[in-house]
Every structure is written in structure tokens, then in C-alpha cells.
Structure 1
Amino acid sequence: MSSPRPRLSRSESLHQQIARQLRNEITAGVWQDGDTLPSSRDMATQWNVSVFTINEAMRVLSDQGLVVSKSRSKRVVRLPDQERRSPVRLRRPNVIVVGGYAGSGKTELGRILARATGWAILDKDSLTRPVVEAALEVMGLSPHDRESEAYLNVIRPREYEALMDAAEENVECGNSAIVTAPFVRELRDDLWVSRMHSRFASMEARVHLVWVYCDAQTMQTYIRRRGAARDAAKLASWPEYLAGVDTAFRPSAEHYLIDNCVSADPLLEQANEVLKSILGTEPA
């Protein structure tokens, strides 16, 4: 995590924002039990804050038992149960479809759910990005294009087709899956949602929709932090991009809502509530 961190919102305590983002990374497995975090000075440079602010953030994580100070300059991640979770094998496979706008925290949530259950995680970018970039270049477009009509109308539908095919293949093998992608168009389309439910029901699998909400300022922070080339156009014209983002959108179909704003409950706690509900309704 050596890349420069984004500017933080002044509407929330800076050290709490840093603590939250690092906590999400730890629970999502980005930082593993035993990993050494960068020094306070290095993190202060990354986040563009004072060393005091970093130390306050580390104090929060230490109080939560996630970080142990070995010395004044060495802090180690402490999550001993990180690799000891038993896979959850159910009689009927489950498919958790996680949607949300760019930078909302979909992948982090998916990773947390996957680590807790042992279910396959199918992330659109991880599965399709190399092929998508190659296809865009063949078409004479930038490999990072995600805004043109050619991408939206030709390539994007095939991305989602490949993603859902991968989910179906897992279900056919009796495996549950967690599928992460924006799904902004798809979850606005009641017919698409109905067909998806029917398709998986025919394979004796249950579908659970999850929408990740994040306010615009926090989304921008997450997008800047991840530093992905495909986000350059969004960040270069943020007001224009934001004009097309409906943060108030919620799927009309039954779904779980995750609040990933800085002031919300930790993702881990919300993920556990979702799993408790899903597993609690598992048919006998």
C-alpha cells in the first residue's frame, strides 16, 4: 500500500476515516495476519496527514484488536482467525449478487463474504479485464475506455454474460458463489432480475441481491485510492460523471442494503448480518 492516498473528507474525523479503510482492508484479506504495516511517517505521507493523525488511527485499530504495536515504528496486523474459517456447504447453492457504483466497496464486501464462507468470488474486473482491454485495443479504442458507445453496447453485455456463465458453472457443480460487479443497468431491469432468479431456481439455487450504497464523496475517495487506469476519465471529469450517478437508487427487487459510508458500521459487521439472514433462511 505504497501509493499516495486520497484527500480525506473534513466532515469526519481524519483518523477514523483512515482506521475504517484499513479495517476494511484487513477484514477483506488485503492485509494478512502477521503483516507489518508501513511506518507512521510513510502512512502520513500516503494519506497527506500528520503523524499524530496516523497514530490516532492506529490506536483505534489497536483498541479493536486488529493491530499490535511491536515497537514505536512497527505495527503488525492481528487477525488470527483469518484463515481458520470452515467452508459453508449448503444443500442448495446460494448466489449472492453484489452491485453498486464504482468505488462503493463491492469487491471488499465480496471478499469479506467469501472469506467467511469459502464460497467462490467472481469479480467482473478480475475475470474479464484482460480480455476487455485487448478487445478495446483491437477496436482502436483505449484499453481503459469504459464510457464509449462501443464499450457500453458491444463489450459490456459480453462481460456480464461471461460473469453470469461463470456463476452458473459453479452452481452446476454444487458450489455457492459471490458475484461482484456494478450491475447498475441490470438491477434497474426487473425482467433481467426475474430471468436471473428463474435461471438459478431451475438449478435449485437461491439468489440474494445486495446493493452497496456509498455517498459521492466517499466513492471519490475510494476511486482515487485504488488508482485504476479505467477510472481516469471519471476522476478527470468528476462533476460530469457524478451527474450520471444516482446515489439514491435502490433495486426494486428484494435486496440487502449495505451502507459503506465512512460513518456507517464496519463492512464486516454488515456482511455478517447478511450471512446470518441468508443462512438462517436455509431450507431444511
Structure 2
Amino acid sequence: MPPRVFIVIGPAGSGKTTVAQRTAQEHAAAYLDKDRVSGRFIEFTLAATGHDPTDRESNDYYRENLLPLEYETLMDVAGMNLRLGRSVVLDAPFGAYFGVPDYLTRAAEEFQWPSPEITVIRVRVPQDVLRTRLIRRGLERDQWKLAHWEEYWSAYGSLECAWSGVAYQDFNNEAPSPLLES
């Protein structure tokens, strides 16, 4: 069976990590979390360049210089796994690339993905539930989001993905289960 790609998207606190990990288990796929793959390097670089290592949403330096490197690295690691015949699950917001219809096609070509089947799993959660989850989990990286909630939600919470050539699957994660809040 040829390798498959599952891309789990959704805003912070929507539950995409739990959904992505379950998907990886169900399909015996490599689990690739953007923050685990490159997060420590990004935080170090932000701090070393005088930026807040927890604020990525309002940081132009991050968005222009580091965000592209994070996603290129993730797609490169995915490509290596796919060429080895291993399906992959990518766990990342991807919001910066939602408006680019051929983003995945170009990434697949650039990082030499074989022709895998690509499924995008959109983790959906209402705004009020998401805000409550971010408050409850109390992570430092969520403080800017909460302090600028309307700006954050309008920019990231209601984005729609326009990628072509993929299958979409919606996962409604409105349930208050603590297992689905990462």
C-alpha cells in the first residue's frame, strides 16, 4: 500500500494534537509535530534576536524569516519518511499557507514526496470553547492570543483552507473532553 499523508489543521487549543496522534496510531504513520521538530530552535532564535520566544502571531521577524523554515523542515522530514514508504501525520496550524491553493503540490514536488494520497483533517471548535480551553491550559505561548482575542480569532480562528488536490475531512471537537484539548 502506498504511503499516505494526513495533515491535521486547526487553531491552538482545538485538539489537533490529540486527533493527529490518534490518526498516526490508527494508520501506523510517523507523527510529525511542527513544534517538536523545530520549536526549540525557533524559541532560541527568537530569544537570541531579541524577540519574545512565545509570541509568533504578532512577530513580523518570525513570520518572514522563521515560519517558512519551520514548514520547509517539516515538509522535508515528511518527504524522507514518505520515500521510505512510511505514511505521515503532520500536526501544525498551517494557517499562513491556507490561501495558497497549490501549497501542498509545490511542497510535494520540492521535497520529493512520492505521489501519496493526502487527507486534510480540519479540527473544528467554536470560538467560545476554544478561548475557554486556552485559558484552562494556561500556557505562556497562549498569552498573546488571549490578550488580543478578537485580533487572534479574526486572523487565525476562522481561516478556511483553499488547498487543491486533497481530500478534506472535518472533525468536530466541540466536546468538553480533556483528552481532546491539545
Is the contact made by 1:186 and 1:193 (CA closer than 8 Å) also made in structure 2? no
Higher strand share: 2
Cα deviation code 1:83-114 (max 9, x no counterpart): xxxxxxxx201111111122211111001112
Q: Give 1:157 shift.
A: 0.7
Output the amino acid matched with 1:102. Answer: A
Structure 2 unmatched ranges of 5 or more: none
**TM (normalized to structure 1)?**
0.56
**Within 5 Å, which residues of 2 pair with 1:216-235?**
216-235=127-146
- Residues of 2 paired with 1:251 and 1:109: CA distance? 21
Aligned partner of 2:175 in structure 1 is 262
Report the aligned-residue RMSD: 2.4
Say whether residues 1:239 and 2:150 are aligned partners. yes
2:93 corresponds to: 182
Paired residues of 2:123 and 2:170 also in contact (CA < 8 A): yes
C-alpha contact 2:95 2:156 (8 A) present in aligned 1? no
Cα distance in 2 between the residues matched to 1:217 and 1:138? 35
2:55 counterpart of 1:142: no
Q: Deviations over 1:197-254 (max 9, x none)?
A: 5568852422222211111111112222332211111112222322323526243534
Q: How does 1:244-255 map to 2 (within 5 A)?
A: 244-247=155-158, 249-251=160-162, 253=164, 254-255=167-168
Corresponding residue pairs, total: 176
Contact 2:4 2:87 in 1 (8 A): yes
Residues of 1 paired with 2:113 and 2:147: CA distance?
A: 45
The SS at the match of 2:114 is: coil
1:36-77 per-residue CA deviation (whole Å, 9 max, x = no partner) reads xxxxxxxxxxxxxxxxxxxxxxxxxxxxxxxxxxxxxxxxxx
Structure 1 residue 182, shift from structure 2 partner: 0.5
Kept in 2: contact 1:133–1:144 (CA 8 A): yes
In structure 1, runs of 5+ residues without a counterpart are 1-90, 268-284
Q: Percent identity?
A: 31
Q: Structure 2 matches for 1:1-284, cutoff 5 A?
A: 91-146=1-56, 147-196=58-107, 198=109, 203-247=114-158, 249-251=160-162, 253=164, 254-262=167-175
Change (3 A) 1:252 1:129: closer
